[in-house]
Structure 1
């Protein structure tokens, strides 16, 4: 697939993360397979109606709206690249599926976060405590968490910061609160001595993303709370949006566009219930 190979090279030239690239390629491959199954024309004959039909096909597959829109976004990026390269003659843009229902909150309820955090602190593993405190105190991605190096940490008596390597090798520096500073300092006191530059070290060297997921799941299972690093990121984002400008949250979470940060402005069913219950005439 020469188009696909060239498209992948284009994505890599934009410093996209490996995870983002693999998602784009997988989504486009599925689209191409569907397209070739319904027509004998080549990809140079793509038209917007093909995109509309594929959108209907995805909706008929009973996928979630989030999954459908992610796939459509990947195809839109591919079609923009095809147009720019001169492989197709007309712009193709597939409209996202609109969700008129209340968007589902993807974070943890306060009581569940309290139970999880208490369980981790009560167990006393300093590395695990540092992991949870960094995640809920900064909202960084799990890939960013495992990428923290010792030289990325600056802590003084009253303040501190973490230098984060984000998507597309974009760097940002985040201030860290006293809970995060204390957790990191206590972990550094017992961190194994080794040649690795990374902060979190396990029995086999620097921790990887899957290890973080397993650690959180272990504690979550104990207190019957479903938890992932991404859920903790959503938890912080939703909490911040009630008091903090979106542009500030955008910088904290490392979003390229403020429109991405806008997902945290959702109104939950609980929000609506609380709003209406507080009305007095």
Structure 2
């Protein structure tokens, strides 16, 4: 363990990171911690392949594979994938904080599973999606920044790829967005999104995205690897990539992050008129569809959980 981190339990440090730096909900934190402790229990019993002495910091890829192999068949593949996702996020955190030199979970493949169609991303789904984009390469930092911005602001993919460097105001924490009909609006952005954006901008310069001297579009905020403006099709590929890496057995398009932005705001008590303005909708009718999504979800939860919900 790196001395600068002291003797605090790495799981406790990870929980603090999720809460204070990532803004994760208590439910999400409990889910991560439960998955990690189950793996810790497995290697503590000496069931890991490399006999790491029950130490999370000494675990190997074979230990992770042995653990996943021990629960495949007992649980749904989506649950097994989620546990690997939790371990990847945990060990990526340890790597960044200097606890370990390499992640034992990074090279372990996800089990193949069924993809289901959904109309709704939970807060936990979005969190896992964004956390799956945690690499250090310039393209990884770009990807995390755009995922954060899509969810934090609710802007359309076309609006995202149309952003220029000068459209970001870090002082006021807002973006200037050019929407449908070239109508401009000011949209607030959250601290995690702006932090990820700063990290991306730190590697955007130089030759990380094409030859800087021959850059195709130097004004564009988000660049492809040739130095041109990122396209909507590329954003779609990026989102699908991290859906797989985050072990989310969902069929999700980038536009679903806009839906999640609106429905989560509505569930937290935001007004329809405010959401309409943030989304850039011309009419309130376009915004009202999110009330139906929320009501449908509430009814689904009620029907599953309430003892008097069953209809004859």
Alignment correspondent of 2:82? none
Is 1:111–2:115 an aligned residue pair? no
Match among 256, 267, 272 for residue 299 of structure 2 = 272
Alignment correspondent of 1:142? 157
Alignment correspondent of 1:177? 190
Alignment correspondent of 2:282? 256
SS of equivalent to 2:255: helix
Q: When the two structures are aligned, how many residues end up with a matched partner? A: 175
SS of equivalent to 1:120: coil
| TM-aligned CA deviation for residue 273 of structure 1 | 4.1
Distance 2:176 2:243 in 1: 28
Give TM-score scaled by structure 2 length. 0.52
| TM-aligned CA deviation for residue 118 of structure 1 | 1.7
Is 1:203–2:231 an aligned residue pair? no
Distance 1:230 1:106 in 2: 11
Distance 1:269 1:245 in 2: 18
Give TM-score scaled by structure 1 length. 0.57
Q: Give the structure with the larger helix fraction.
A: 1
| TM-aligned CA deviation for residue 269 of structure 1 | 4.5
The equivalences for 1:31-110 within 5 A come to: 106-110=119-123
Distance 2:122 2:265 in 1: 14
Name which one, 1 or 2, has greater alpha-carbon Rg.
1
Distance 2:297 2:168 in 1: 38
CA offsets 1:146-176 (integer angstroms, 9 cap, x no match)? 00001111102xx411000000001000111
Alignment correspondent of 1:240? 265
SS of equivalent to 1:140: coil
| TM-aligned CA deviation for residue 259 of structure 1 | 0.7
Structure having greater relative contact order (Cα 8 Å, sep ≥ 6): 1
SS of equivalent to 1:163: strand
Unaligned runs of 5+ residues in structure 1 are 1-103
| Backbone CA RMSD of aligned residues | 2.2
Structure 1 stretch displaced more, 217-226 or 178-187: 217-226
Distance 2:307 2:197 in 1: 44
Distance 1:163 1:183 in 2: 18
Match among 237, 247, 250 for residue 225 of structure 1 = 250
Distance 1:123 1:235 in 2: 27
SS of equivalent to 1:198: coil
Match among 116, 130, 139 for residue 145 of structure 2 = 130
